[in-house]
Amino acid sequence: MIITISGLPGAGKSLLAKKLAESLGWPLYSMGNLRRQAAADQGLTLAAYNQLGETDPATDLAVDRLQENLGKTQDKLVVEGRTSWHFIPHSVKIFLSVDPRIGAERIWQHLQQPDNRRNEDRSLTGIDDVLASNAERLASDRRRYAKYFQLDVYDQSHYDLVLDTSQLTPDQVLAAVREFIAKRA
């Protein structure tokens, strides 16, 4: 079984992916972390890298190929990424939703941590900036994925489980996902 996790900014995708992989004893692959590192390697923020991706498909190509390869060659892993469900179609597909303001608040709190490595837009000075940045990120994702793959990665009908995390703790999210996976096994 391969589990792919996607969703909205601030919904808790990364935390769920980490906790789920740890609880299952499976490896975790984070496409977001790979993209953030690729952006940083070019001296760009993730927002600038995503914008570049609207005209240069190479920004997505490496992670897309990696996901396809993982789906063909491995089992028992967790993959976090916007297009993971598409490139690993036989996966159990999880989508985390969140109220946009709550998601922005969560991201803002994370950005305040000394170990933060999110590589977000450098002009973020508060929750309203994060909210606006998230909206642009969603729009950029929609443009890129529609252009290159004819996909709307935010169309929840693609997923096996859609979970709104707005009022849930990380442990409650993990428990709900573990329960769902147990029924699929």
Contact 137, 9 (CB under 8 A): yes
Query: What is the reported pTM?
Result: 0.85
pLDDT of 26-41, one tens digit each?
A: 999 988 888 878 888 8
What pLDDT, in 10s, does the model give residues 68-126? 899 999 999 999 998 999 999 999 999 999 999 999 999 888 887 776 655 555 567 78
- Which phi and psi angles does 114 have, rounded to 5°? -65, -25
Burial class (CB in 10 A: 0-12, 13-18, 19+), 153: buried
